[in-house]
Amino acid sequence: MFRNWLIYKLYRYVRESIEIFFDWVLDLLIRPRQYVIFYYYLFFKLRTSKLRSVDTIDKPRVIFGPCPIINNKYWANALKQAGYVADSITLQIPSINSSDDFDLIVGKLFPIIGEPDPLKETWQKLKVFEFVLQRYDIFVMAFRFNYLEDLPFHGKEARLLEKFGKKVMIIPYGSDYYKYSKIIDQSLKHNLMINMPAEVFNEKAITKKVNYWTVNADFMLMGVMVDDAARWDSLPVSPLCIDVDQWKRDIELKNADGVNEAVTIVHAPNHRGFKGTEFIVQAVMELKEEGLKIDFILLEKIPNEVVRSTFTEKADILVEQLIFTGYGLNGVEGMASGLAVLANWEHKEISTLFRRYSYLNECPMVSTSPETVKVNLRKLITNPDLRRVLGKAGRAYVEKYHSYQGFSALFGEIERKIWYKDAKCDPMNFFNPTNENSYNHKFPIIRHPLQQNRIPD
């Protein structure tokens, strides 16, 4: 038996060694040709590209991408509305989105003919890089999914952008930034390992990319992703924005209290563990067993149009997320729709920072954990007046901080800092509530009955 085991182990070792050898040989054959293509582009294409002189630019042109996230289209739309030339570009279209959700699609701009291979992908990426260099001035990217991603010379991207007078702003989306060993909240780490286990083995690569752009980016917007962050250059609670007109509720909220009529609770998870879905389902079930009338709608992997119609026509309460600290796009959409929204602000390491130096105290979300979700739901179900007050405050909050106008105001400050080198602008204190000149005080302060995002007893 030991002999068979030894033969098997020896066979595995030899087979894996041969595979590694041939991969190495293949890499040696491909990499020089990739470099030949790169230097051809550098000396014969990029040098002769028709790039506008920085001195002739009235307003910088902005490109968001190529990470395949819908936020890029929203940010681009916000700047278009403010008079910028701005577009979103994506490598691929996520399953829950359509081609209309992005301005530019790499595969349509420069399709690969036949079966993809490393050399064809190198040509494609360099063509895309030349395309965006010619047309845009400020590049807004995540730590991952950059233009020269996965190429042997990807480390030259920042230097090339700087050489051609471009500026880089980094806005992470999540898995491009989080290093699991550095996450403070262990419940968040636990659920990330459940929902996205592959990233456990990518920590070295993630760290390398984060360190690279931390040093080379002109501006960084981290939002609440401050675990192990070496740098941020402004402190919005979240940089997300939406078209508030598309999420406007036209139907009055019901006067239901769970006794006279059913209250509709909605939850829309992309990753159940990350959102704490199991605790929400359990809390709703227990409240129903106690006699409260509840309609529970679970929205998963469905088009955004269905989410919008549910929020604006049916829902009374949105439970956004209970594990991750803060809120995502779903929470913004819920507040814009006039719903009472529950999300986790229990992590004091993060919430204290954003209460002191940003606008979290204006946020009308009910801070909720797995341990308090049942209690908070009961309070909101049985109190339609409180739901109405929070919904009205939530709508005003989104109009102020998460509308296209709100993002454009922040971007204008960033533009003055990195493009015009205006020494008087101060993005770090743009949202400082103690600063009388901050954005917070240019519009009425959002008032609501919550105390540190908790419902008072």
Q: What is the pLDDT of residues 175-187, one digit of tens each?
A: 999 999 999 999 9
Tell me what pLDDT residue 11 has.
63
**Which alpha helices (DSSP H) does 136-202 contain, by range?**
157-163, 186-195
DSSP state of 338: T
Q: Are 75 and 88 in contact (CB under 8 A)?
A: yes
Quote the CA–CA distance of 308 and 74 in Å, as a whole number: 15
Domains and their CATH numbers in the chain: 244-403 (3.40.50.2000)
Quote the CA–CA distance of 161 and 151 in Å, as a whole number: 16
Q: Is the pLDDT of residue 96 over 70?
A: no
Least confident range from 49-63, 109-123, 140-154, 161-175: namely: 49-63
Q: Is the pLDDT of residue 219 over 90?
A: yes
CA 406 to chain centre: 17
Cβ within 8 Å of residue 386, ≥6 positions away: 340, 379, 380, 449, 455
Q: Is the pLDDT of residue 377 over 90?
A: yes
How does pLDDT run across 384-430, given as a tens digit for each residue?
A: 999 999 999 999 999 999 999 999 999 999 999 999 999 999 999 99
The residue among 38, 220, 236, 255 whose CA lies nearest residue 126 is 38
% of the chain beyond a pLDDT of 90: 73
For the beta carbon of residue 119, count every other beta carbon within 10 angstroms.
13
State mean pLDDT over 149-163: 91
For the beta carbon of residue 252, count every other beta carbon within 10 angstroms.
8
Quote the CA–CA distance of 183 and 206 in Å, as a whole number: 13
Q: Is the pLDDT of residue 28 over 70?
A: no
Q: Are 239 and 223 in contact (CB under 8 A)?
A: yes
CA distances from 20 to 13, 24, 151 (A): 10, 6, 19
Q: What is the H or E stretch that residue 64 is in?
A: strand 62-64
Tell me what pLDDT residue 261 has.
95
Q: Is the pLDDT of residue 36 over 90?
A: no
Confidence bin at 42 (pLDDT 50/70/90): confident
Confidence bin at 6 (pLDDT 50/70/90): low
Quote the CA–CA distance of 452 and 367 in Å, as a whole number: 8
Q: What is the H or E stretch that residue 88 is in?
A: strand 86-90
Tell me what pLDDT residue 285 has.
97
Phi then psi for residue 264, to 5 deg, are -95, 120
Phi then psi for residue 223, to 5 deg, are 60, -135
Tell me what pLDDT residue 114 has.
87
Tell me what pLDDT residue 231 has.
96
Confidence bin at 432 (pLDDT 50/70/90): very high
Confidence bin at 253 (pLDDT 50/70/90): confident
Quote the CA–CA distance of 192 and 417 in Å, as a whole number: 35
Confidence bin at 9 (pLDDT 50/70/90): low
Confidence bin at 302 (pLDDT 50/70/90): confident
What burial class does residue 29 get, using C-beta atoms within 10 Å of its C-beta: 0-12 exposed, 13-18 middle, 19+ buried?
Answer: exposed
